[in-house]
Chains A and B, each alone.
Chain A
Amino acid sequence: MTHFINLTLNGLASGAAYAALALSLVIIYQATRLVNFAQPALALVAVYAAYTVTQLTGSYWIGFASALIVGMAAGALVERVIIRPIAKTSQLNAIIVTLGLLLVIQGGVGMVWGNEQHGFRYAFSYVGRFSPADTFALVSVGVVALLLFAVYRFTPFGLRMRAAAFHPESARLSGVKVGLMLTAGWGIASFIGALAGMLAGPPFLSPNVFDVVFVFGITAAVVGGLDNPFGAVIGGLLIGLGMSYVSGYLGPELATLSALAIVVIVLSVRPDGILSRPTARKV
C-alpha cells in the first residue's frame, strides 16, 4: 500500500510538469489551430536564462521569476515576428516553422551555453515520499491552472481571448484586437511552458533535456483533447500516474511504452480526447 501511495504521489508530481506543458500547447492550439513544436525550445531558453540569472544573483527565486518572464516574452515575440506573417500563407507552413524553430533554438542554446550538461540546483529537496519539490510542482501547476481558468472565465480580458480564439471575425466586429490577443495567448502559453521547464528540468540542464518531457506533454495534450485546457491537465496527470505505476510495478524500462499505451487506449475509446467537445460544429 505504501508503495502504491508513493507511486501515486510521484506520478502526480511528474504529471504536473506534463500537464503544464500540455496546457501551453492547448492554449496555442485553441487560438491558432496549430501545434507549437517550438514550445520546449522556448521553455529551454527560459530555463537557461534562469540558470544564468541564478548563477549571477545566487537566488533561485530571482532565476525562477526571470524564467517565466523570459518565456513569456519569447513566446509573444515568436508569434508576432515569425508565426503571424507565415500563418497568413498557410497553417501547415506555420507548423513546420515551429518545428524548424525548435531545431534552431536548441542549436542556438548549445552555442551560447554549451552542449554539455550543467548541474541545475533546485530550491527544494526532492528526496523521499512526496518531497517538497513534488509538492511545489503540484501546487504551482494547480495554482497556475486555476488562475488561468479564472482569468479566461471571469475577466473581460479572458472573454476577449476566448472570442478571438473561437470566432476571430465576430471578435473583431465586437471591437476585439484579435492580433493582440494572439500575441497575448502565445505569451501566456510560453509562461506556462517555462514553468513546466523549471519543474521538469532539474537536476541537469542540456539543450535536449526537454525532448522526452515534450513527448509526454504532447501526449497529454492529445489524450486530453487538443482544444480542451481541462483535458490537458487531466491528460498530464494521467500520463504521469500511468508511467509511475508501470515503472513501479512492471519495471522502469516499460514506462515510456505505457505513455503510448495510454494514447492508444484513450484515442480508440474517445478519438477526440477525454474531454473534447464533439467535432461537428453547428454554424
Chain B
Amino acid sequence: MSTEPLLSVQGLTAHYGPVRVLDDVSLDVPDRGLCAVLGANGAGKTTLLRTLTGLHRATSGRVLLEGEDLTRLPAEKVITRGLAHVPEGGGVIVELTVEENLRLGGLWRSDRRDRTTFDEVMDLFPPLVERRTKSASTLSGGERQMLAIGRALMARPKVLLLDEPSLGLAPLITKQIFTLLRDLRDHTGLTVVLVEQNAAGALSVTDHGFVLNQGRVATEGPSEGLLADDRTRHAYLGF
C-alpha cells in the first residue's frame, strides 16, 4: 500500500442519540485502493459511510480526502469534493427515468453539458442503454444497482463508497458487480470502498479489508490474509 492515503479517517466517533455507533474509527484507504468494510449487523458499517459523506454528523474525529477536511461538510457538498456514496439499496429514484437518474448524478458539475461522462457510463452498463427513456421502476434489482453506481460515477468521483451492493441480488449478479468494481479500479484508477455483509465475496475481490465490531475496527489487513485467518473468520465474519 502506498504511503499517502487518498481517504483518511481519523478517530471518527458518531452517535445515534445516546448510543455510540462509531467508536474512534481510524482507517486509511490508498489511492486506487479496493477495500472492503466488513462486520456483523449493527457493527456500524452503514453509519461509517453515512458519516463519511455527511448524511450523519460525526461527534468527533476527522475525514480527510487528499488532505482536505470533509468532516463538517453537508452531503451535497461532499460529493463535489470527490467522495461518492451509493447508499444501501442504491437509492435509485423510481419516479425518474433511467437517463434522468444518471444525469442527476452529474448535474452539479460545470461541464454537465459535456456528454462524454454520460456516454462512458452508458458503455459500462449495456442493459441500461436500451432502457434509457424508461422509468427506473421497471429495472430489475441488479439493473438498479448498476444505475445507482452509474449515477455516482456521473460525478467523476475520486472515491466510490458502496453500501451492500449485493443486497438482495442473485450470486451471479453480485459477482458481475464486484467484477465491475474491480475493473473500474484497474482501468480508471477509481478508489473503491465496499461495505459488505457478504464477507467471503467481498474479500475475494478486494485487496484490503477492515472488520468492524461494535463500532470499532477490530482487525484489518490484506483481504487474502483475512480470508485465510480462521480466527477472524469465525469471530467476526461468520463463515
**A5-22 with Cβ < 8 A to chain B:** none
A270 within 8 A of B: no
List, in ascending order, chain B residues with CB within 8 A of A169's CB: 55, 75, 87, 91
Q: Would A174 and B105 count as touching, CB distance under 8 A?
A: yes
Indicate the member of A156, A170, A178 with the most B CB atoms within 10 Å.
A170
- Cβ of A36 to closest chain B Cβ, rounded Å: 21
Query: Is A87 interfacial (CB-CB < 8 Å)?
Result: no
Question: Within 8 Å CB of B112, what residues of A?
Answer: 156
Complex: A164 Cα to B104 Cα, angstroms: 11
Task: Decide yes or no: A167 and B107 within 8 Å by CB, A173-B79, A175-B155, A176-B76 being known contacts.
Answer: no
CB-defined contacts of B93 to chain A, threshold 8 Å: 162-163, 166-167, 170-171
In angstroms, how far is the closest chain B Cβ from the Cβ of A164? Answer: 10
Q: Are B95 and A162 in contact (CB under 8 A)?
A: yes
| Interface core residue of A156, A173, A283 (most chain B CB under 10 Å) | A173
Q: Which residue of B is nearest A30, CB measured?
A: B95
**Which residues of chain A in 131-185 are interfacial with respect to chain B, using CB atoms and an 8 Å cutoff?**
156, 159-160, 162-163, 166-167, 169-178
- Interface SS majority for chain A: helix
Choose among A162, A163, A174, A178 the residue with the greatest number of B CB atoms under 10 Å from its CB: A174
Contact of A173 among B85, B94, B96, B137 (CB under 8 A): B85
A193, chain B: closest CB distance, angstroms: 24
B89 interfacial contact with A, CB 8 Å? yes
Closest B residue by C-beta to A281 = B94
Contact indicator B91/A167 (Cβ below 8 Å): yes
Closest residue of A by beta carbon distance from B95? A166
Q: Do B107 and A156 touch (CB < 8 A)?
A: yes
Give A266 Cβ to nearest chain B Cβ, in Å. 23
Q: How close is B208's CB to chain A, nearest CB, in angstroms?
A: 24
Interface size on B, residues (CB 8 A): 29
Whether, in the assembled complex, A3 has its beta carbon less than 8 Å from a beta carbon of chain B, the answer is: no
> What residues on B are CB-neighbors of A282 within 8 Å?
94, 137
Which residues, 96 to 137 on A, are CB-close (under 8 Å) to B? Answer: none
Which of B75, B84, B137 gathers the greatest number of chain A CB atoms within 10 Å? B75
Q: Are A283 and B75 in contact (CB under 8 A)?
A: no
Cα of A159 to Cα of B100 in the assembled complex, Å: 7
Asked if A283 contacts B89 (CB within 8 A), the reply is yes
Within 8 A of A (CB), among B21-54: 53
**Is the C-beta of B62 less than 8 angstroms from some C-beta in chain A?**
no
Query: B103 interface residue, CB < 8 Å from A?
Result: yes
Q: How far is the CA of A174 from the CA of B156 in the complex (A)?
A: 11
* Cα–Cα, bound, A283→B137 (Å): 9
Q: List 26 A-B contacts (CB under 8 A).
A: A162-B93, A162-B100, A163-B104, A166-B93, A167-B91, A167-B93, A169-B75, A169-B91, A170-B93, A170-B104, A172-B55, A172-B74, A173-B75, A173-B91, A174-B104, A174-B105, A175-B76, A175-B77, A175-B108, A175-B155, A176-B104, A176-B107, A176-B108, A177-B76, A178-B76, A282-B94
Q: Which residues of A line the B interface, CB within 8 A?
A: 156, 159-160, 162-163, 166-167, 169-178, 281-283
